């Protein structure tokens, strides 16, 4: 599989980005600004998504919580620079697509989702916005519904990648990833758990000198695979 797109000097990607994601730890200290908008809170660098799309040789890709459009921009960028013609569909609550109540509009071999980390960032006042869930069990219930819809939209053998981080609320550590991992079976088989180091977060400027425990500076990308047809 060719990854010659990384040699295009106009891409402004360094040589260290050329390899398709091969290890379970990723870190992007300097954001690549080719895709999406860093001003959109919670937006992540598009390179992990890009690497997974290339690794799994995805042909039909969806992102039902698209935010500022990073994933859409990545696919456009890849298609412009290669012979690929990857199909992409993206939706978001602020664009009128409600994953809690609506199915994805087609079948896909790769679905990426980057949901809110409960209420750590409030994205809107919409009652179906996961960041508005008042109690954690309500958030988990809604997240499960969203992830099940993503799994249901996968073709046999397709992959679902869930980027999620843990949070602290009032001194209590809440491992959201635990509740995602516990959905194995419902969402297919877990095939990978990637650790992504967080950089350039708004919280980086705060003083946590009196915090008893280490600051959270990582996220997880859990990759599930839907069963092949028997």
Where does 92-187 show beta strands of DSSP type E? 108-113, 154-164, 167-169, 172-174
Residue 158 included in any domain: yes
Q: What are phi and psi of 118, to 5 degrees?
A: 55, -125
Residue 1 included in any domain: no
Query: What is the count of structural domains for the chain?
Result: 1
pLDDT of residue 104: 98
pLDDT of residue 3: 41
Residue 181 included in any domain: yes
Average per-residue pLDDT in the chain? Answer: 86
Statement: residue 206 has pLDDT above 80: no
Find the range with the poorest average confidence among 52-61, 123-132, 133-142, 201-210: 201-210
pLDDT of residue 214: 85
Residue 185 included in any domain: yes
* Section 143-154 average pLDDT: 98
The domain containing residue 81 runs over which residues? 23-225
Residue 8 included in any domain: no
Write the CATH number for 108. Answer: 3.40.50
Residue 11 included in any domain: no
pTM, full prediction: 0.86
Residue 230 included in any domain: no
Spatial CB neighbours of 220, under 8 Å, sequence gap ≥ 6: 163, 164, 165, 177, 180, 193, 194, 195, 196
Among 212, 228, 230, 90, smallest CA distance to 150 is for: 90
Q: How confident is the model at residue 40 (pLDDT cuts 50, 70, 90)?
A: low
Q: 3-state DSSP call for residue 52? A: helix
Percent of the residues in the chain that have a pLDDT greater than 70, as a whole number: 84
Question: What is the C-alpha to C-alpha distance for residues 90 and 36, in angstroms, rounded to an integer?
Answer: 13
Q: What are phi and psi of 18, to 5 degrees?
A: -75, -35
C-beta separation of 76 from 136 below 8 A: no
Question: What is the C-alpha to C-alpha distance for residues 169 and 38, in angstroms, rounded to an integer?
Answer: 25
Q: How confident is the model at residue 131 (pLDDT cuts 50, 70, 90)?
A: confident
Query: Residue written as tokens 């219930």?
Result: 141
Residue 111 included in any domain: yes
Question: What is the C-alpha to C-alpha distance for residues 130 and 139, in angstroms, rounded to an integer?
Answer: 6
Report residue 196 CA to chain centroid gap.
11
**Mode of pairing for the β-strands spanning 189-197 and 25-27:** parallel
């Amino acid at each position: 599989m060719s990854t010659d797109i990384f040699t295009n000097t106009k891409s402004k990607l360094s040589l260290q980005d050329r390899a398709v994601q091969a290890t379970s730890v990723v870190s992007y200290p300097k954001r690549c600004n080719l895709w999406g908008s860093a001003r959109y809170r919670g937006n992540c660098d598009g390179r992990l998504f890009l690497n997974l799309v290339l690794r799994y040789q995805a042909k039909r890709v969806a992102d039902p919580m698209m935010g500022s459009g990073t994933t859409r921009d990545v696919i456009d960028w890849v298609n412009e620079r290669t012979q690929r013609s990857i199909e992409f569909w993206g939706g978001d609550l602020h664009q009128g697509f409600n994953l809690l109540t609506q199915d994805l509009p087609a079948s896909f071999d790769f679905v990426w989702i980057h949901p809110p980390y409960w209420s750590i960032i409030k994205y809107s006042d919409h009652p179906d916005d996961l960041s508005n869930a008042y109690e954690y069990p309500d958030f988990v219930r809604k997240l499960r519904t969203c992830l099940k819809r993503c799994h249901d939209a996968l073709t046999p053998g397709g992959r679902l990648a869930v980027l999620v981080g843990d949070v602290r609320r009032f001194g209590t550590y809440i491992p959201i990833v635990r509740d995602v991992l516990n959905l194995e079976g419902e969402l297919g088989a877990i095939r990978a758990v990637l650790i992504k180091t967080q950089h350039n977060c708004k919280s980086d400027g705060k003083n946590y000198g009196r915090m008893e425990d280490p600051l959270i500076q990582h996220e997880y990308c859990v990759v599930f695979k839907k069963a092949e047809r028997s």
